Amino acid sequence: MRWRNKGLPVAREEGLLVESVGDETVVYDAKTKEAHCLSPLTAVVFAHCDGDTTIAELTSLTAERLGEPVEPSRVLDALAQLEERELMAVPAKIRDDLSRRDMLRRSAAAAGGVAMAPLITSVVAPNAIAANSATCANLLCCPCCTNSNLNKNDCCTIKNVTINCECTGFRTLPYPGGPTPNTCGKYCKPSGTGAPSDAQCAAMFTNVGQAESICGQAGGSVAGFVACQACAGC
């Protein structure tokens, strides 16, 4: 790949589900069954680790997005904490004679010796997102129905993953390559504010088979994509 020999950080994509919950960014790791709540600074760093962006550029981007001065030491700390949680595909490259711990210690000293605060909160799902929050994980905008046997519990639930994921809205447009929904068609959305609109859900999936593939991750819903999309018996 084009970033393989550049030595610039690359965020991991495989096996991760990234979702915005209110003002926070939550990353669910299907491999470890952990959910990581990223601070705003760490979320910006993680989103721009593409193998082409340098530490200096990450620092500048983060300061611009947060609207406040950001020291390179804070970006380095975010990268180190992301790597500790195995959320990086390629870590930031450092000199052979400088350990990552030494790098952070020197960066902290340069910033005035202030201790670095945790930038990521990690717990085993579903406790990662507290009861006053909600997440549909990979079932976000996946199909569900008003049928009692194809509603929230069967179409919008993955055990130990989804939290307060509701069956709501009106699904009037078909998924690419799929059948036109009947009057029972709805979407799986997190409860509370910040849930995507029906139009945003309809725009999430643009290719044939994309919805079925994404909605089937982490085991998929209880009833499965095909049944939840068909809403048979409505």
Q: pLDDT digit string (tens) for 187-218?
A: 999 987 678 888 888 888 888 988 998 898 87
Q: Per residue, what are the HEC states of the chain?
A: CCCCCCCCCEECCCCEEEEEECCEEEEEECCCCEEEEECHHHHHHHHCCECCCCHHHHHHHHHHHHCCCCCHHHHHHHHHHHHHCCCEEECCCCCCCCCHHHHHHHHHHHCCCCCCCCCEEEEECCCCCCCCCCECHHHCCCEEECCCCCCHHHHCCCCCCCECEEEECCCCCCCCCCCCCCCCEEEEEECCCCCCCHHHHHHHCCCCCHHHHHHCHHHCCCCCHHHHHHCCCC
Taking residues 16-32, report their average pLDDT.
76
Least confident among 99-103, 192-196, 218-222, 226-230: 99-103
Q: Could you give the percent of the chain with pLDDT greater than 70? A: 80
Res. 234 pLDDT band, cuts 50 70 90: confident
Res. 114 pLDDT band, cuts 50 70 90: very low
* pTM score: 0.49
Q: What is the pLDDT of residue 203?
A: 85
Listed by start position, the domains of the chain span 10-124, 137-230
